[in-house]
Amino acid sequence: MEGFKALILLWCVWVFLLLLSHSSSLEAAKVRHYNFDVEYFFKSVDCFEQLVMGINGQFPGPTIRAEVGDILDINVTNKLSTEGTSIHWHGIRQYGTPWADGSVSISQCAINPGETFNYRFKLNKAGTYFYHGHNGLQVTGGLYGSIIVDLPNGQKEPFHYDDEINLLLSDWWHKSIQEQDVGLTNSIETFRWVWEPQTYRIRIASTASLLSLNLAISNHNMVVVEADGNYVEPFTVDKIDIYSGESYSVLLTTDQNPNQNYWISVGHRDDNVSTTQALTLLNYKGISASILPSFPPPITPPWYDVEERLAFTNKVVALKGTPQPPKYSQRRIHLLGNQDLIDGYLRWGMNGISLSLPSTPYLGSIKFNLTDAFDWNDPPETFPRDYDIYNPPTIHNLVMGNMVYKFQLNEVVDVILQNANSLALNSTAFHPWHLHGHEFWVLGYGNGTFKDGDDEKLFNLKNPPLKNTVVIFPYGWTAIRFRADNPGVWAFHCHMEPHYHTGMGVVFAEGVEYVKRIPEQALACGLTAKMLMNKEGLLLPIVKTI
């Protein structure tokens, strides 16, 4: 659009805001090829030079833009000298290609230094998504980028906008990911707007490794229209909460006084610390971008506030016409998250099990019935109902484990995520949970311990939002419902990277017998690698047709 420009104004803070360039219209659906080299390089992200993990020398990585029906063919080469890697395509369901999900030890082997892994999968749904590393703490190091999936040519969104901006929000740390890893295992841009009221679609995704964030723009409201790739009933806010793993689209109209600039503010919503907000400017064309606003920036709501967060979350409901959930589930799993010590090390766990991923990826282990690859016993589907969620654990029975929840194909499953006090007194968190390979209906939120029968009367079965990431509030519960309709093995985990890294996740498997033609690259480690050497012919060749 004529007159639209971007000027750089970077403020030295560790939370940062990134503007990624607007792409032109796309061609018809097709195979889109990419070569991604994952590597380290030096970069000053916030006026402090350090090693950054990126792709093809870029941080964040290249934006992928495509249409529904397109096939992405991406060769990811690991140019890190000392560590394995993988890429998870966050929010992409991977129908028929579960090995391309990118979760190490679940759907594939890690990509070792010098190796290349071919990810090839189809884009089935329009929306705002992103990709990120899924091995160790590589999101913390900067391994992420945007995915924008447009509707096919000729189809229109259920809302109007004149242009769009793509934002990745993240936290940034001066400690290296190696320092952070050892710590866990020890006892911006300026926007210039044309002065004629225009409506912009701002696509926002949070690749934060830990923190929940709050975005506000002085004197401007935002209309929320999309969440996690699904349309929602539009609603107007003056600020937006976004948790790690979530994505939103908001509409912003440039209808304010063009003779002054306006603050864009991003603040954190976690813990009682005094970290400065990230600030940049919204700039209309009629005034220099060097002139700061005469008024202070929006104030981030206090970290301990729950009511305002809950009020925003409850406004997110599905747009009319969105598929409704089945009226009843066939199975219900209660998952209690808690924190404890195992052999002197701080770990997170669910129902007393701290997830420790096996050396052989689950997908191949289950497909080929490798009984020694992991613990095939069924994990606990509930927790003691008298568990005191308001205090630290008194019985220290958290153990390491790698069991899998196994579902019948197309089974309708409810998961009740239960929050509880951490190991320290009066300590808890807002945990964002992400499910790979699926979308789920968010049926509701509540305080205290979930009560079957009573609390399910609070479920929203009329217009619950479809999402892939959802938050659990302190000392409360969140209920989701999904259909196990995607053959494969899928991670379900807290998207706060240190929490997942230390065990806060579970694994779901469904219909693995229907998975065909697993590429050799996804099986070339652990017991499946030995199987390939000892039983020639078991493995079908890599397939490049979808």
Would residue 37 count as lying in a domain? Answer: yes
CB 545 within 8 A of CB 517: no
Q: Are residues 85 and 199 in the same domain?
A: no
pTM of the predicted structure, to 2 decimals:
0.86
- Please give the residue range of the domain that contains residue 405: 331-529
pLDDT tens-digit map of 452-492: 989 999 999 999 999 999 999 999 999 999 999 999 999 99
Q: Are residues 310 and 356 in the same domain?
A: no
Closest by alpha carbon to 205, among 55, 98, 100, 63? 63
CB 413 within 8 A of CB 482: yes
Q: Are residues 163 and 147 in the same domain?
A: no
Q: Are residues 174 and 277 in the same domain?
A: yes
Q: Are residues 270 and 301 in the same domain?
A: yes
Question: Is the per-residue pLDDT at 19 higher than 60?
Answer: no
221-225, 390-394, 531-535: the lowest-pLDDT one: 531-535
Q: Are residues 391 and 413 in the same domain?
A: yes
Q: Are residues 389 and 519 in the same domain?
A: yes
Q: Are residues 413 and 436 in the same domain?
A: yes
Question: Is the per-residue pLDDT at 119 higher than 90?
Answer: yes
Q: Are residues 168 and 150 in the same domain?
A: no
Integer Cα distance of 97 and 513 in angstroms? 13
CB 349 within 8 A of CB 503: yes
Q: How many CB atoms within 10 Å of residue 114?
A: 10
Would residue 228 count as lying in a domain? Answer: yes
Calculated CA dihedral for residues 29, 35, 38, 41, nearest 10 degrees = -110
Which among 107, 124, 156 is the end of a domain?
156
Question: Is the per-residue pLDDT at 438 higher than 90?
Answer: yes
Would residue 258 count as lying in a domain? Answer: yes
Domain count, the chain: 3
User: What CATH number corresponds to the domain at position 41?
Assistant: 2.60.40.420
Question: Is the per-residue pLDDT at 130 higher than 70?
Answer: yes
Question: Is the per-residue pLDDT at 273 higher than 50?
Answer: yes
Task: Give the contacts of 225 (CB within 8 A, at least 6 positions apart).
Answer: 157, 158, 159, 201, 231, 232, 234, 249, 250, 251
Integer Cα distance of 351 and 112 in angstroms? 33
Would residue 20 count as lying in a domain? Answer: no
Which among 123, 156, 189 is the end of a domain?
156
